[in-house]
Amino acid sequence: MDAFARAAEGAPEHCPACGGGVVLDPPDAAADGPCPHCGNLLWFVRKCSDGAVVLTFLPGLMAGEEAMDKVDQVRAAAASADRLVLNLSHMRFISSMFLGMLVVMHRELLAANRTARLCGLHADAMEVFRVNQLERLFEIHEDERAALSSF
């Protein structure tokens, strides 16, 4: 069994492909890993908390043809969320493709009269957001708890 993600009954995080419960183990894992149920590479996990959908992104890089599939997975996981939290606390590097995905998601959420919050940005990532003026698009919070309580 992979040390990064292990099955756990009642775990709040779920694989976006099969819905199987996973636990991020260790919490500060340095790379993405496979779902213990279906083998899908976990680039993010989904959970419901306080009436919101929380997508926690993992440090896998978005690049090449696989990136479009990943973007579609994120959009599908967020599709039913009126309130959405995007937790970036595991990501040290944020690619331009990821930033582009966030801008597209912002437009889609705005058009559907839904809202999103970001949380857990590391200092380098926050600087990327400032340089690209993305802090104007998203409400950014220190951690997940603060983001959830802001709705």
Across the chain, which has 151 residues, the per-10-residue mean pLDDT values are: 38 83 65 81 88 88 64 85 93 85 91 94 92 92 96 92
Beta bridge partners, 21, equal 14
Number of domains in the chain: 1
What's the pLDDT score for residue 53? 94
Q: What is the extent of the structural domain holding 79?
A: 42-149
Answer whether residue 74 is part of any domain: yes
Distances (CA, A) of 58 to 14, 73, 77, 133: 13, 14, 15, 23
Answer whether residue 105 is part of any domain: yes
What's the pLDDT score for residue 9? 39
What's the pLDDT score for residue 97? 82
What's the pLDDT score for residue 7? 40
Answer whether residue 6 is part of any domain: no
Answer whether residue 27 is part of any domain: no
Q: Check which CATH number belongs to the domain holding 53 and give it.
A: 3.30.750.24
Answer whether residue 110 is part of any domain: yes
What's the pLDDT score for residue 37? 92
Question: Is 16:46 a contact under the CB 8 Å cutoff?
Answer: yes
Answer whether residue 35 is part of any domain: no
Can you give the length of the chain in residues?
151
Answer whether residue 4 is part of any domain: no
